[in-house]
């Protein structure tokens, strides 16, 4: 007789919800198919009475169960879905100098546009377009700080026309590109620094026109200096109490999929910054 743990209510709920937070904590095996899966496996669930629980994949295999081909439960590698999402993040990061359509991204990854859109948003918290737009905006700001002209910086960052640049970038800069290029000359900027969970501190700054900066780092002092370096000609004031919406944005955007614990810190920071920026827009 095959031996395995009984299915407790907590464990069964995790299986039914396909709760990815439990991946690595146990696997469940179906007596009817002799296959074991991760809790997050998208496959159809067996009946509870036909399910056994094992602490590790090795225990399940010793009892004669085989690893599921859909969720690769017998390894510690990323699942196929996770691999698609990480590949999408990497591709967008490497091609932030141009607009990336959902169709192009789906062709590169070999998945349908609809599936990519749904899974990316579920795992990352924002759509591929939002993440791509954020990366393009941050790149545009970098080019302006390096002294490039507005038109050249816009072209290099992937804005197809001056109209697209002024429609999209201006709304997300908290000021005109020209004013940003001049170090925020004449702008009144207020900011707050908020502690995050696992990513240090986040500095959010804005003007009457909107958010103008979102920076993350381990040191509050360095973040504030970074803001002053970015806007040397602006009047910069720290809020005594962070705006409620900013606090809400940070707390809401820290709700993340377990996949991010396995991603490079740089990618985690870029995703979090893009999520906060989108939330506040």
Question: How far is CA 62 from each of CA 3, 34, 36, 49, 65, rounded to the nearest angstrom?
Answer: 10, 12, 12, 21, 7
At residue 164's C-alpha, the angle toward residues 161 and 167, to 5°, is 145
Measured between its terminal Cα atoms, the distance across the chain in Å is: 59
The reported pLDDT for the residue numbered 201 is: 95
Q: Mind listing the domains of the chain with CATH numbers?
A: 9-67 (3.40.10.10), 82-280 (1.10.10.60)
Phi, psi of 35 (to 5 degrees): -120, 140
Question: How far is CA 270 from each of CA 60, 101, 109, 200, 264, rounded to the nearest angstrom?
Answer: 38, 19, 21, 14, 10
E-only strand ranges, the chain: 27-30, 35-37, 51-54, 66-67, 188-195, 201-207, 210-217, 235-238
The reported pLDDT for the residue numbered 2 is: 57
pLDDT tens for the chain, 281 residues: list them: 455 667 889 999 999 988 888 888 899 999 999 999 999 888 899 999 999 999 999 999 999 999 998 887 876 677 777 888 899 999 998 888 777 888 999 998 888 999 899 989 988 999 999 999 899 999 999 999 999 999 899 888 888 777 777 777 777 899 999 999 999 999 999 999 999 988 899 999 999 999 999 999 999 999 999 999 999 999 999 998 889 999 999 998 887 677 777 788 888 899 999 999 999 98
Instruction: Find out whether 212 and 175 touch, Cβ atoms under 8 Å.
Output: yes
The reported pLDDT for the residue numbered 259 is: 75
- Record the pTM: 0.76
Looking at the DSSP assignment, which residues form a beta bridge with residue 210?
Answer: 207
Instruction: Find out whether 24 and 48 touch, Cβ atoms under 8 Å.
Output: no
The CA distance from 92 to 95, in Å, is 5
CA quadruple 261, 267, 270, 274: dihedral, nearest 10: -70
């Amino acid at each position: 007789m095959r031996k395995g743990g009984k299915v407790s209510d907590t464990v069964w709920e995790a299986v039914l919800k396909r709760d990815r937070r439990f991946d690595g904590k146990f696997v469940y095996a179906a007596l009817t198919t002799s296959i074991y899966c991760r809790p997050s496996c998208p496959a159809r669930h067996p009946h509870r009475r036909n399910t056994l629980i094992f602490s590790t994949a090795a225990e399940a295999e010793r009892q004669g169960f085989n690893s599921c081909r859909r969720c690769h439960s017998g390894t510690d590698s990323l699942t196929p879905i996770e691999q698609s999402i990480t590949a999408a993040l990497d591709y967008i990061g490497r091609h932030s100098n141009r607009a990336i359509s959902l169709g192009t991204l789906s062709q590169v990854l070999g998945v349908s546009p609809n599936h990519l859109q749904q899974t990316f948003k579920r795992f990352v918290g924002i759509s591929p377009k939002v993440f791509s737009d954020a990366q393009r905006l941050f790149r545009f700001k970098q080019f302006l700080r390096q002294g490039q002209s507005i038109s050249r910086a816009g072209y290099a960052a992937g804005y197809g026309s001056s109209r697209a640049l002024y429609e999209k970038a201006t709304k997300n800069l908290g000021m005109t590109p020209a004013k940003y290029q001049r170090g925020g000359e004449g702008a009144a900027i207020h900011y707050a620094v908020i502690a995050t969970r696992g990513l240090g501190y986040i500095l959010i700054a804005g003007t009457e026109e909107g958010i103008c900066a979102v920076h993350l780092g381990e040191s509050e002092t360095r973040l504030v200096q970074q803001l002053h370096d970015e806007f040397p000609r602006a009047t910069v004031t720290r809020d005594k109490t962070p705006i409620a919406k900013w606090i809400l944005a940070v707390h809401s955007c820290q709700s993340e999929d377990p996949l991010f614990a396995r991603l490079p810190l740089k990618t985690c920071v870029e995703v979090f910054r893009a999520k906060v920026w989108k939330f506040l827009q």
